[in-house]
Homo-oligomer: A and B are copies of this chain.
Amino acid sequence: MKPTTVGVIGAGRIGRMHVQNLVHSVPEAFVKVVASRSIDASWADELGVPLAVRDFEVILGDPEIEAVAIALSSDLHVEAICRAARAGKHIFCEKPVAFSPGPIREALAAVQEAGVQLQVGFNRRFDPSLLKLQQAVRDGAVGELQGLRIINRDPQAPDIEFVQRSGGLFFDFTIHDFDTVRFLSGMEISEVHAIGTTLVDPEIGAAGDIDTAVIAIRLANGALGSIDNSRESGYGYDQRFEAFGAQGNLAVDNVRPTTLSSSLESGVFVDGPASPFVERYREAFIAELRAFVRSVRSGEPVAATGEDALAAIQAAQAATLSRRENRPVELAEIDQQVSVGVSS
C-alpha cells in the first residue's frame, strides 16, 4: 500500500526529531520535503528525504503531499495551520498552538472549513504508562476519581532566550500537565489556584517568568488535584502521575534507562529518570506520528485535538491570572468554553 506523503515544516530540534521518526519508524509515511530557514540539505539527503527547501510554500503547493507536520516557533503555528488547512493538508502541529484562545479558534475554524485533520503534539497521550493509567481510570479500576497529582520537572532550566520566547512556564511547560489532567481524568478543569516563584534562576524572574509552581486544581466532578513544576530538578526529567479514586490509587513512576542496581557499602544505587524529554518520551513521539498518519489514512478522529489545545491554553491563562492576583480562578471566568468533551 502506498505510503502517505508528508512534508515537515520547521527543522529545529523537534522538527528534526519528527523527520527522523517519520523516516525510521512510521513505515506508512514518506517524507518528501522538509522546509526550514536554516535547513541543511545534506542532513535531509542522508535521511532519504528528497527535497529540502527554505519556504514551506513548496510543501503547501505540492499536490502529492497529503499531510504536514509543523514544528515552527510557537508564534508561527497559527498562520502555518491556517495556510496548510487552506491548501487542503492534514496537519500535525506542535504545542502550544498559540498563547491565547483567539488565534487557536482561528486555526480551528480554518481546519474545520477545510475538512482536514488536526492533531496537536501532546506526546504524553501516547506514552505506554500513561495510556495504561488512563485506561485503568476509564475502566473504573479505582472507582470514582477523587484526585490527580502530577510532578513535572525539567532536568535543567532552559537558557534565558528560550524562556523569553516561551510564553512563560504555564504556557510552555505546564501546558502538558493541564492536558494530562484532562486526558487522565476525562474531565474538564473547573478551577485552578496557582502559586509560583523563582527559585532556580533569578534571570527567569527578571524576564517576568517563574521557574517553580504548585497548582491546585478542581475538576468538573469535584475531584481535587495538584501539579508540581520546576524548570530544574538537578536529577533528571521527573515525570510522575497519580490518579486517586474511591477504591485505590494509580501511580506512574519515572522510567529509568536501565534496571541495574548497585549495592555498595554506601547504599544501593539505581538510575535516575530517563532524560531529557526526547529520551523519556521516545516511544510516545513515534506513536503520536504513527497515530496521526493512521488517522490521515483512515479518517478516524485524532487522539489530541485542537479543542484539547484550546482547553489547555485556557487553563494556562487561568493559572496566569490566578498567580498574578493570588486567588483561585474558575475556568468559566476565562472564556466561554467550547464544551467539546475531552478527546481520548
Q: Which residue of B lies closest to A225 (CB)?
A: B214
| A200: B residues at CB distance < 8 A | 146, 246
Seed contacts A141-B264, A249-B263; 20 additional CB < 8 Å A-B pairs: A25-B25, A128-B257, A143-B234, A146-B212, A147-B214, A191-B195, A193-B193, A196-B224, A199-B246, A200-B246, A226-B228, A233-B244, A234-B245, A234-B246, A234-B264, A238-B249, A248-B262, A250-B262, A251-B261, A253-B259
| A196: B residues at CB distance < 8 A | 224
In the complex, chain A residues 189-233 whose Cβ is within 8 Å of any chain B Cβ: 191, 193, 195-197, 199-200, 212-218, 222-226, 228, 230, 232-233
A176 within 8 A of B: no
A146 touches B255 (CB 8 A): no
A324 within 8 A of B: no
A1 within 8 A of B: yes
| A232: B residues at CB distance < 8 A | 246
Interface residues of A (CB under 8 A from B): 1, 24-25, 27, 46-47, 128-129, 132-133, 136, 141-144, 146-147, 149, 151, 153, 191, 193, 195-197, 199-200, 212-218, 222-226, 228, 230, 232-236, 238, 244-273, 326-328
Q: Which residue of B lies closest to A249 (CB)?
A: B263
The docked-state distance in angstroms from the alpha carbon of A225 to that of B214 is 7
The docked-state distance in angstroms from the alpha carbon of A36 to that of B225 is 43
Pick the 9 closest A-B CB pairs, nearest first.
A129-B258, A248-B264, A235-B263, A253-B259, A249-B263, A214-B224, A146-B199, A226-B226, A234-B247
Pick the contact of A250: B153, B238, B260 (CB < 8 A).
B260
The docked-state distance in angstroms from the alpha carbon of A253 to that of B253 is 12
A263 touches B248 (CB 8 A): yes
| A218: B residues at CB distance < 8 A | 195
Q: Which residue of B lies closest to A141 (CB)?
A: B262
A147 touches B253 (CB 8 A): no
Q: A192 → chain B, closest Cβ, in Å?
A: 10
The docked-state distance in angstroms from the alpha carbon of A228 to that of B268 is 20
The docked-state distance in angstroms from the alpha carbon of A47 to that of B196 is 51
| A259: B residues at CB distance < 8 A | 129, 252-255
Q: A227 → chain B, closest Cβ, in Å?
A: 9
| A191: B residues at CB distance < 8 A | 195
Q: Which residue of B lies closest to A232 (CB)?
A: B246
Q: A319 → chain B, closest Cβ, in Å?
A: 12
Give me 7 A-to-B residue pairs in the complex whose CB atoms sit less than 8 angstroms apart, sorted by A's number.
A24-B25, A142-B234, A196-B224, A212-B224, A234-B264, A247-B265, A255-B259
A265 touches B235 (CB 8 A): yes
